[in-house]
Amino acid sequence: MKVGIVGLGLIGGSAAKAYKAAGHTLYACDINASIVDFAIIEGVVDAHLDEKSIAECDLILLTATPQAVISYVEENARYVPKSALVMDFCGTKRRVCDVGFALSLEHGFTYVGAHPMAGLQYSGYKYSRANLFTGASLILVPPVHDDISILDRVKQSVQPLMFKKFVVTTAAFHDRMMAYTSQMCHVVSNAFVKSTSSQYHRGYSAGSFRDLTRVARLNEAMWTELFIENKENLLDELDQLIKSLGEYRTAIAAEDSETLYALLHDGCQAKAMTEQ
């Protein structure tokens, strides 16, 4: 299989290494062409992804930010062969899928939105690894939800990435859930470490601090775009959290042990529900 990858950061680089390890031919492009040159020297990528090599691809993975993916597809859709499967790995889905589905109908190729539930707190090709997706789930937003042949094709095409589970949903529900399970975690973590106490944490912190602050280290440009892109859902989650934090603060300030106990108990029960 000949695979084209747009964006050779952590996600794109990891995908490239997995496909290369499985013996496939890799073409890639990145806003920083020197990264592709390095990947070629390293033996991960075979050549640059351009107008000529796009026409040879069986699979094209778009692993850049939503706006970069939209721009790339709009500029290059005419070069994509009708036999190709094109998938974006973006963190939001509504706008990018709207554009991708429309262009796929116009030019004849197959487009599927996808989002791998895998990553690190670090970004960039240098942190990429072939086993990043092993055992992870892949969320899929297909153009139609009753065509099993598309889903089978996706599963076969991404087999080298070793996903364990596939979840099929809509773009709208994907974005709603990502606001809660991913974007909120990054907002809270990033805000939490701004406490004036943070500079003194060494010797006073253990697992709780480490777990809560892990994703405070992030790619500012990428997450800014994702937050703004999904602002309605993210603002709703933020409003819920702020309201909930206010309830805890009020109970603590009033030394209202009964209310505080009830709030803590409810949180424990809510966590238990997520583990079922």
Whether residue 26 contacts residue 12, with contact meaning beta carbons closer than 8 Å, is answered with no
Residue 54 tokens read as 């796009």
User: Per-residue pLDDT for 121 more than 80?
Assistant: no
pLDDT of residue 132: 97
pLDDT of residue 230: 97
Three-class SS of residue 96? Answer: helix
What's the CA gap between 3 and 270, in Å, rounded? 43
The arithmetic mean of pLDDT across residues 241-260, rounded, is: 98
Mean per-residue pLDDT of the chain: 96
Q: What CATH architecture is 2-169?
A: 3-Layer(aba) Sandwich (3.40)
Q: Which residue has the higher pLDDT, 276 or 137?
A: 137
- Per DSSP, helices labelled H in 128-230 are 148-157, 171-178, 184-192, 207-213, 220-229
62: nearest Cα among 78, 45, 85, 79: 85
Homologous superfamily assigned to 174-274: 6-phosphogluconate dehydrogenase C-terminal like domain (1.10.3660.10)
Distance of CA 248 to CAs 62, 157, 256, Å? 43, 48, 10
pLDDT of residue 25: 98
What's the CA gap between 129 and 123, in Å, rounded? 12
| Run of H or E residues at 113 | strand 110-116
54: nearest Cα among 109, 102, 113, 14: 109
pTM: 0.91
Whether residue 166 contacts residue 224, with contact meaning beta carbons closer than 8 Å, is answered with no
What's the CA gap between 225 and 228, in Å, rounded? 5
| Run of H or E residues at 140 | strand 137-141
End-to-end CA distance of the chain: 39
User: Per-residue pLDDT for 247 more than 80?
Assistant: yes
pLDDT in tens, 167-195: 999 999 999 999 999 999 999 999 999 99
**pLDDT band (50, 70, 90) for residue 268:** very high
pLDDT of residue 146: 84
98: nearest Cα among 115, 74, 79: 74
The arithmetic mean of pLDDT across residues 129-157, rounded, is: 95
Give just the sign of the alpha carbon dihedral 108, 22, 65, 188. positive
pLDDT in tens, 49-103: 999 999 999 999 999 999 999 999 999 999 999 999 999 999 999 999 999 999 9
pLDDT in tens, 203-229: 999 999 999 999 999 999 999 999 999
The arithmetic mean of pLDDT across residues 4-11, rounded, is: 97
- % residues pLDDT > 90 (the chain): 94
The arithmetic mean of pLDDT across residues 27-47, rounded, is: 97
pLDDT of residue 232: 98
Q: Is 170 exposed, middle or buried (0-12, 13-18, 19+ CB in 10 A)?
A: middle
Buried b (16+ CB within 10 A) or exposed e, 18-35: bbbeeebbbbbbbeeeeb
pLDDT of residue 122: 82
The residues spanned by each domain of the chain are 2-169, 174-274
**pLDDT band (50, 70, 90) for residue 275:** confident
Helices (H) and strands (E) in the chain, counts: 12, 8
Q: Vertex 81, ends 73 and 25: CA angle to 5°? A: 90
